[in-house]
Structure 1
Amino acid sequence: MYIKKRINNNVVLAVDGELEVIVVGKGLGFQAYPNDPVDPTLIQQVYLPTEKINVKQMAVLLNEASFEEILLVEKIVKIGEAKLGREINPVILFSLLDHLLFAFKRHQEKLKIRSPIEWEIKQFYPKEIEVGLQALSLIEKEQGIVLEKSEAVFIAMHFVNYQFDQESMETTMDYMEAMGDITQLVRYYFQVELDENSINYQRFLNHLRYYLMRLNTHETANSLDNEEIVLTVKKKYPKEFKCSLKISNYLEERYKKTATFDEQLYLTLHLARLLHS
């Protein structure tokens, strides 16, 4: 295995045989140059590309996080494996890391949100909720950040979603059509071209996919008491909020379900991140 590109002091893009992989390890990228062999004693984790995330997207996300944050999420994944009694594909790290980086930012900005299906997750996935609560304790211990208890639900959802990774072809095609319509709506509304290779575009698609999964597998939950926060976000991101209304109207017409204040909030925030980062 040899280095193709240094990402940062702790992450490198490497070539293993004919496959490009992401390798993580403390100091692995320090003074590392292309074609250098990867020091096997420094390897902590090797990540292989998948259909959902390629090495370029992995590299961008890992470069946004500190080494300590990467280690933190790896520990949370291990907590999940121990609690749920099964091995979990290591690529869950990327969606979970992406969520936690976003959660830390929201914490700094004092934006509190709750999952619109919090009740269902707590009722039907108690073990995953326990994983989320243990993760919050670990975050407080290692990062000194006290996140809202509701974040345990979002963390739990990552482990729940992992279980439902396989979809019927009919469902997949339906999601693809809906997501295509929504991205076209965004392009038209803002009169912009979206970089389909960017990490933020992929983040937006992931959010839409999970949104569609919730619409298709759960009844829409009653709106939680987030109306005041929605108004705050509406004032900060007025165009994004109006666009989110158009998206919600499209989904309501398509699936006959109405978005809650919480879904409206999260969709607006994801639009803002897509368009302003």
Structure 2
Amino acid sequence: MKVHKILNNNVIVTLDDKGKELILTGRGIGFKKREGDLIDINLIEKQFSLDNKDILPKFNELLSEIPLEVLTTSQIIINHAKECMESKLQDSIYISLTDHIHFAIERHKQGFDIPNGFLWEIKKFYPKEFQIGLYALSVIKKRLGIELPEDEAGFITFHIINSQLNGTMPNIVNMTKIMREILNIVKYHFNIEYDEDCLSYQRFVTHLKFFAQRILSKGTQTQQDSSLYEIVRQKYHQAYLCTKQIDLHLIQQYQHPLTDDESLYLTIHIERLRTELKKT
């Protein structure tokens, strides 16, 4: 293996047999090296291979600015996230999460921790991803000696979710906001307390994730038979009245009137949730 580019003393770029760029990290791996020099394989600690060529320049720039310890720690966290999540994480997480962790550490050293206003919702809506966030804090503490607040686990969770959806961070924040608003409407309409362990609640939250994503992406559902909508509207009248409240809220706040199909599915989920909570 030969040096193709030198990013800094600890990060270099080489080419594989097919001419694809590989990023190698290791303490001193690029020290006093030039392009074309042989690489000491004993110094290689980590290897990155990104499929998305568009983000390679940004990633290379990031690697030249971030300490090796932070870079390696971030990769450990990302590898753990990939093992835990069923859906594939986008390559962009190597940039977004690594940059966030580095910035969070620098802010913490300066005594400037940012509170996460969505921490409660993150714990409730994204428990699996939040556990990855908590794992990340433990790895950062163990490897870097920095104890970040729990709020940062929430921010890291956002990056994991964002990488799954391949969206943007503001959209994830807004998705969570929409979900919270709808859950509050249902809660106060029926004057109920949620049992977050019940299956209907978990199904409802899952539905709201995709529903909120569709609102923000301006997507629509395929229209189904309207006769089913009429049946549900009459059979589950109380749940339907709650859905109409949600409809008015979404029109006022997001200029998104519910379609019949959206009303149909919301009404069914609300009715199932309401019925199950009445039994407890």
TM-score tier (shorter): 0.5 to 0.7
Cα pair distance change 1:15/1:82, threshold 3 Å = closer
**Deviation at 1:91?**
5.0
Tell me which of the two structures has the higher relative contact order, counting C-alpha pairs closer than 8 angstroms and 6 or more residues apart.
1
Q: Could you say which residue in structure 2 is the equivalent of 1:5?
A: 5
TM-score between the two structures when normalised by the length of structure 2: 0.56
* Structure-1 residue corresponding to 2:129: 128
Counting matched residue pairs gives 182
How far apart are 1:41 and its partner, in Å?
Answer: 4.4
Identity %: 34
SS class of match (1:99): helix
The alpha-carbon distance between structure 1 residues 65 and 162, as it changes in their structure 2 partners (threshold 3 A), is same
Aligned to 1:23: 24
Runs of 4+ in 1 over 4 A off after TM superposition: 85-91
- What is aligned with 2:267? none
Q: Which residue of 2 aligns with 1:156?
A: 157
SS for the counterpart of 1:150 is helix
Q: Does 1:69 align with 2:76?
A: no
Change over 3 Å in CA distance of 1:217–1:75 after alignment to 2: same
* Aligned CA distance change for structure 1 residues 135 and 217 (closer, same or farther; 3 Å): closer
Find the aligned partners of 1:216 and 1:89 in 2 and give their Cα distance.
19
Whole-Å Cα distance in 2 between the matches of residues 116 and 23 of structure 1?
A: 38
Q: Secondary structure, in 3 states, of the residue corresponding to 1:96?
A: helix
Task: List aligned pairs for 1:80-119, cutoff 5 A.
Answer: 80-84=81-85, 88=89, 91-119=92-120
Q: Is the 8 A contact 1:128 1:156 kept in 2?
A: yes
- What code does the residue aligned with 2:149 have? E
Match of 1:244 in 2: none
Q: Give how far 1:82 is off.
A: 3.8
Please tell me the residue identity of whatever aligns with 1:158: H
Counterparts of 1:13 and 1:49, CA distance in 2: 15
What whole-Å deviation, never above 9, does each CA across 1:59-111 have from its counterpart, x for those lacking one? 22112222111121122123323443676456523211100111012212322
TM-score (normalizing by structure 1): 0.56
Of the structure 1 ranges 42-51 and 142-151, higher mean CA displacement relative to structure 2 is found in 42-51
Q: Secondary structure at the match of 1:132?
A: helix
CA drift at 1:122: 1.3
What is the 5 A alignment of 1:1-277? 1-16=1-16, 17-43=18-44, 44-48=46-50, 50=52, 53-54=55-56, 56-84=57-85, 88=89, 91-165=92-166, 209-215=168-174, 218-219=177-178, 256=253
Letter in 2 for 1:96: L
- Say if 1:45 and 1:65 are closer, same or farther in 2 by CA, change over 3 A: same
Assess if the C-alpha contact under 8 Å between 1:4 and 1:34 holds in 2.
Answer: yes
The gaps in structure 2 that reach 5 residues or longer are 182-251, 255-280
Larger radius of gyration: 2
Q: What is the Cα-based RMSD across aligned positions, in Å?
A: 2.9
AA aligned opposite 1:66? P
